[in-house]
């Protein structure tokens, strides 16, 4: 083998384990989410079987139910039937993930042996196998498309750290192999951002670096999108885009007319006037203005320039909202930040319409100061009274078929 060819092969081989590690980490994220989904699926499946059993008993012995109760039970079963293909798809996705993980492990062992021996193995074949695995993984994730929020799981406490107020997050960009976790404690004049290498490191409080922002932040409505932190500058309506790797501000722009410094916060206060968030459709700002009489305004932002692309007036008073988050272009608003809170209001930007909802969730620690959706992981991140908590979400009609 020529010296140049050998050096090229060595260079290329050295990059493959990184690619395999990225795929494995992405699978672990999807595997964790699927595990939570399957728990919900099992609960729903048992409920359906119980209801179906009662219906069969009633059918065999009609006298056991009066006509009204019988019809109500029958209607309930009919409402559950559309869940069957969703349940089956979740099970199929879970089996696919297990197969993909095993293939990656086998490929990783092969690559390690090749790096040790530098034999005459066909590198192109290995590269094609890696690309095939990436394609299959992305295909699996894309099947879980957009939908309407119908439920929120029980809370999963990841860690207890920091003060009563704060925010924590992972990158919301789709697709992304970035598994870093960021934590920002407090809502008042903070500048210190802790960056953890992985979720496991965050849980253990290890392997982190510190970023000292050039300007302090206000509130807890921060978001990480494509490797940059977007946040509201303290005592202003200026939005800042801070790039983590270069440790520099890429752009800052005033959000025209937006209230700040506790002019129009959420019900819990905390300078939460401007809430930045991301979903499957991109980057958003949720805020209000004096001309909008304190009602929530939604603006879609251009991530590079922070220019406002389009704006909607929801008509919902921001001071009556506990928190809010975007999923698939829909803003969901909670009616409180305290115990007993529920998702009470939804505004659909694709139709400029709204509806009142009744989606309960368990506010375990009784004081939520941050609630954001991550479209890459399909979970809600919350900061609840010094606890970092995740919620899985259930979306109706989320499965994309081959005909779509």
Residue with tokens 């704060």: 166
What is the structure's pLDDT at 71?
A: 73
Phi, psi (deg, nearest 5) at residue 371: -150, 110
Contact 170, 141 (CB under 8 A): no
Which stretches does DSSP call E strand in 45-165? 148-152, 156-160
User: Residues 113-135: pLDDT tens digits?
Assistant: 666 665 544 666 666 666 666 55
- Count the Cβ atoms, other than its own, within 10 Å of residue 10: 11
Asked whether residue 53 carries a pLDDT value surpassing 80, the answer given is no
- Tell me how far CA of residue 273 lies from CA of 34, 258, 286, in angstroms: 34, 8, 8
Long-range contacts of 94-98 (CB under 8 A, 24+ apart): 94/34, 94/38, 96/136, 96/140, 97/27, 97/30, 97/31, 97/34, 97/140
For the stretch 208-235, pLDDT in tens is 999 999 999 999 999 999 999 999 999 9
- Indicate whether 260 pLDDT > 90: yes
Indicate if the pLDDT at residue 404 is higher than 90: no
pLDDT at 263 exceeding the cut of 90: yes
Q: What percent of the chain has pLDDT over 90?
A: 59
- pLDDT category, 267, cuts 50, 70, 90? very high
* Model confidence at 25: pLDDT above 70: no
- pLDDT one-digit tens code per residue, 150-164: 999 999 999 999 999
How do residues 342-389 score in pLDDT, each as one tens digit?
A: 999 999 999 999 999 999 999 999 999 999 999 999 999 999 999 999
| Tokens 């192999």, residue located | 177
268-320 pLDDT per residue, tens: 999 999 999 999 999 999 999 999 999 999 999 999 999 999 999 999 999 99
pLDDT at 80 over 70: no
Please report, to the nearest 10 degrees, the dihedral formed by the alpha carbons of residues 90, 43, 58, 74 taken in order.
Answer: -60
Position 141 pLDDT exceeds 90: no
For the record, the structure tokens of 234 come out as 């303290």
Q: What is the mean pLDDT of the chain?
A: 83
Concatenated DSSP letters of 221-280: --EEETTEEEEEBTTS-EEEEEETTTTEEEEEEE-TTB--SSSS-BTTBTT-S-EEEEET
pLDDT reported for residue 332:
98
- Whether 231 and 248 have beta carbons less than 8 Å apart is answered as no
């Amino acid at each position: 083998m020529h010296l140049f060819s050998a050096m090229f092969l060595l260079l290329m081989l050295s990059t493959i384990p990184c690619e395999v590690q990225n795929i494995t980490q992405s699978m672990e994220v999807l595997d964790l989410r699927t595990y939570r989904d399957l728990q919900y699926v099992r609960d729903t499946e048992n409920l359906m079987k119980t209801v179906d059993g009662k219906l069969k008993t009633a059918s065999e012995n009609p006298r056991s139910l009066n006509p009204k109760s019988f019809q109500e039970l029958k209607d309930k079963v009919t409402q559950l039937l559309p869940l069957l293909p969703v349940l089956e798809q979740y099970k199929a996705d879970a089996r696919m993930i297990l197969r993909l993980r095993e293939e990656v492990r086998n490929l990783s062992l092969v690559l390690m042996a090749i790096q040790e021996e530098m034999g005459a193995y066909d590198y192109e074949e290995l590269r094609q196998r890696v690309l095939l695995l990436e394609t299959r993984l992305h295909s699996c994730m894309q099947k879980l498309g957009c939908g309407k929020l119908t439920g929120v799981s029980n809370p999963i406490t990841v860690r207890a750290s920091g003060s009563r107020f704060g925010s924590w997050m992972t990158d919301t960009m789709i697709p992304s192999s970035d598994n870093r976790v960021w934590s920002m404690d407090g809502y008042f004049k903070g500048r210190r951002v802790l960056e953890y290498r992985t979720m496991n490191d965050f849980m253990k409080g290890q392997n982190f670096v510190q970023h000292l922002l050039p300007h302090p932040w206000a509130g807890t409505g921060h978001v990480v999108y494509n490797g940059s932190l977007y946040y509201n500058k303290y005592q202003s309506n200026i939005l800042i885009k801070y790039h983590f790797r270069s440790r520099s501000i890429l752009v800052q722009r005033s959000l025209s007319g937006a209230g700040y410094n506790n002019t129009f916060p959420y019900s819990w206060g905390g300078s939460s006037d401007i809430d930045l968030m991301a979903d499957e459709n991109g980057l958003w700002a949720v805020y209000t203005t004096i001309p909008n009489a304190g009602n929530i305004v939604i603006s879609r932002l251009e991530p590079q320039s922070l220019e406002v692309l389009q704006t909607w007036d929801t008509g919902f008073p921001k001071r009556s909202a506990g928190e809010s988050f975007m999923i698939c272009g829909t803003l969901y608003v909670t009616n409180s930040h305290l115990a007993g809170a529920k998702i009470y209001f939804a505004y659909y930007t694709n139709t400029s319409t709204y509806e009142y909802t009744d989606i309960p969730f368990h506010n375990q620690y009784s004081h939520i100061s941050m609630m954001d959706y991550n479209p890459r992981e399909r979970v809600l991140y919350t900061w609840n009274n010094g606890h970092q908590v995740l919620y899985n979400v259930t979306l109706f009609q989320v499965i994309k078929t081959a005909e779509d």
